[in-house]
Amino acid sequence: MGKYKKIFLDGVIFSNPTFVLVLGTCPTLGLISSAMSAMSMGLCIIVILTLSNILISAMRKLIPNEVRIPCYIVLIATLVTLLRMILEKFLPDIYSALGGFLALIVVNCIILGRAEAFANKHTVPEAAMDGLANGIGFTLALTCMGIVCEILGSGSLFGAHLWDFSIALFSQPAGSFIIFGLSIALFTKVMDSVTSASRAKRQAEEARRSFEARRGKTAKEA
Amino acid sequence: MSAKSFFKSTAFKCIVVLVGIVLVCSVFLTICNALFYVSDEERLDRALADLYSGESVTTELAPGADSLGDGLEVGRSVIVTARVVTSDNHAGDWLVQSKGLDGYQNGTVTCWVVVNTDGTSVTGVGAVSINSNEGQSYIGRITQEFLNGFSENFTGEPYPDGMLSSGASYSSAAIRNSVNGALEYVKTSLQGNGEAQNG
């Protein structure tokens, strides 16, 4: 169970595809001006990433190493086409809102990256967990930045009007880029602080144990 | 290389696996396409529900629309189809499906445009609804306010080049072209009908 917990935490926090690996930047910059589009794209990525990881992991012994990338692309493109069909049929508003970015999921670095780095080396449940975790990490990152961009750029949240004040720059990719950069800086700062605190706590614990061991030894000698 | 060694080679295995995956995926997508295909009737129903806020409206092919074929180029748009509303509550409305050109990277935006008429001339734009687009990444930024602007700012003249939406200027230009094309088409059709009746 600890293995799955580690995979999940890595995907969502420690190796977050957006803030740490800086993958999938194209849809990030294109869609975070609206929280709803950002979240919709994130949910699509969760579905595609989980399914592609499962398929690729299941077929890892069948696919020869020499043609693995074309095979991955075909499998991912099939899943994306299927998702497009389903969205167009049942959720036309989301289909329209995502526009060309939906088709671009085929060449999304996160999906191909996780297939190459993880899915083709691990079992199906592990690959599924990795896909789910990375998808959730990507969705959370996009939604958080989308909320900030939409509030600043349009004065609204998930389409609901909040106030009249807005800065048009933040509804453009240039503004999204600024928010993206600041978010990475903030995330890195928080992670550094957490890591430092955790390291300091561990060192203090080791020092305490060492001190107690030495004291015990001295007492025994006495 | 003998035939036997070729069939045992990695190259052969690669070809078989790749072709196998492609074939399976193709068959799967063909089945899915049959299951999830969105027909023209379904698209029309969606557009009508959007344009008339869910009101029940019946339509029929507009006079002369059967000759549109693959589309009639009008200005910077291509008229795909045209229908007239037959239900009493919106009688006289024309529903024009028009593909606006000059979108982002020469893409297009296809819209349904409701053109209000009194039977002889155009009296306004009832509503505009986006039907589909080609390669317009920022189409999601087109607001309902922008689309409502066509009804509110109707003067009888084509909408000016400056009528754009911030953040999606190319897509909004294609929408404007689509609406201008629809208005021009209805005007020409009504004049043609009038002349035919007088003749």
Please give chain A's pLDDT, 222 residues, in tens: 688 899 999 889 988 999 998 988 888 888 888 888 899 999 999 999 999 999 999 999 999 989 999 999 999 999 999 999 999 999 888 887 787 788 888 888 889 999 999 999 999 999 999 999 999 999 999 999 999 999 998 888 888 888 888 888 888 888 899 999 999 999 999 999 998 998 999 999 999 998 888 888 888 777
Residue A73 forms part of a structural domain: yes
Is the predicted pLDDT of residue B191 greater than 90, yes or no? no
- Per-residue pLDDT, averaged over B24-44, amounts to 92
Is the predicted pLDDT of residue B180 greater than 90, yes or no? yes
Query: Cβ–Cβ of A96/B133 closer than 8 Å?
Result: yes
Count CB atoms within 10 A of the CB of residue A46. Answer: 19
Residue A215 forms part of a structural domain: no
Residue that wins the pLDDT comparison between A28 and B179: B179
Residue A217 forms part of a structural domain: no
Residue in B32, B46, B141 nearest the CB of A82: B32
pLDDT confidence of residue B193: 67
Q: Each residue of B126-144: pLDDT tens digit?
A: 899 888 888 777 777 788 8
The answer to whether the CB of A35 falls within 8 A of the CB of A153 is: no
**Containing structural domain, residue A29:** 2-209
Query: Cβ–Cβ of A71/B18 closer than 8 Å?
Result: yes
Alpha carbon of residue A7 to chain centroid: 12
Q: Which residues of B touch A (CB under 8 A)?
A: 10, 13-14, 17-18, 21-22, 25, 28-29, 32-33, 36-38, 46, 130, 133, 135-141, 166-167
pLDDT band, very low/low/confident/very high, at B19 (cuts 50, 70, 90) = very high
Half-sphere exposure of A10 (CA within 13 A, CB side): 13
Residue A222 forms part of a structural domain: no
The answer to whether the CB of B96 falls within 8 A of the CB of B84 is: no
Residue A110 forms part of a structural domain: yes
Residue that wins the pLDDT comparison between B66 and A77: A77
pLDDT confidence of residue B197: 54
Mean per-residue pLDDT of chain B: 86
Query: Cβ–Cβ of A37/B140 closer than 8 Å?
Result: yes
pLDDT confidence of residue B192: 76
Chain A residues with CB-CB distance to B37 below 8 A? 89
- Per-residue pLDDT, averaged over B23-31, amounts to 96
How many residue pairs from chains A and B have C-beta atoms closer than 8 A?
Answer: 72
pTM of the full predicted structure? 0.77
B-chain residue closest to A98, CA distance: B140
Residue A10 forms part of a structural domain: yes
* Closest Cα in chain A, distance from residue B118 (Å): 33
The answer to whether the CB of B109 falls within 8 A of the CB of B103 is: yes
Residue A214 forms part of a structural domain: no
Strands, E, within chain A: which ranges?
A: 156-157, 160-161
List helix spans (H) across chain A: 2-9, 25-31, 35-58, 68-90, 92-98, 109-117, 124-154, 173-221
Is the predicted pLDDT of residue B195 greater than 70, yes or no? no
Is the predicted pLDDT of residue B198 greater than 60, yes or no? no
Q: State the Cα–Cα distance between residues A138 and A125, nearest whole angstrom.
A: 20
B137: left (phi over 0), alpha (psi -120 to 50) or beta: alpha
B-chain residue closest to A159, CA distance: B143
pLDDT confidence of residue A100: 75
- Per-residue pLDDT, averaged over B65-82, amounts to 85
Helix (H, G, I), strand (E, B) or coil at B7: helix
Q: Which amino acid type is present at position B55?
A: E
Domain count, chain A: 1
Residue that wins the pLDDT comparison between B38 and B56: B38
Chain B residues with CB-CB distance to A62 below 8 A? 17
Query: Cβ–Cβ of B135/A89 closer than 8 Å?
Result: no
Residue A29 forms part of a structural domain: yes
pLDDT confidence of residue B140: 72
pLDDT band, very low/low/confident/very high, at B145 (cuts 50, 70, 90) = confident
Joined together, the tokens standing for residue B86 give 């037959």
Chain B residues with CB-CB distance to A100 below 8 A? 135-137
The answer to whether the CB of B45 falls within 8 A of the CB of B95 is: no
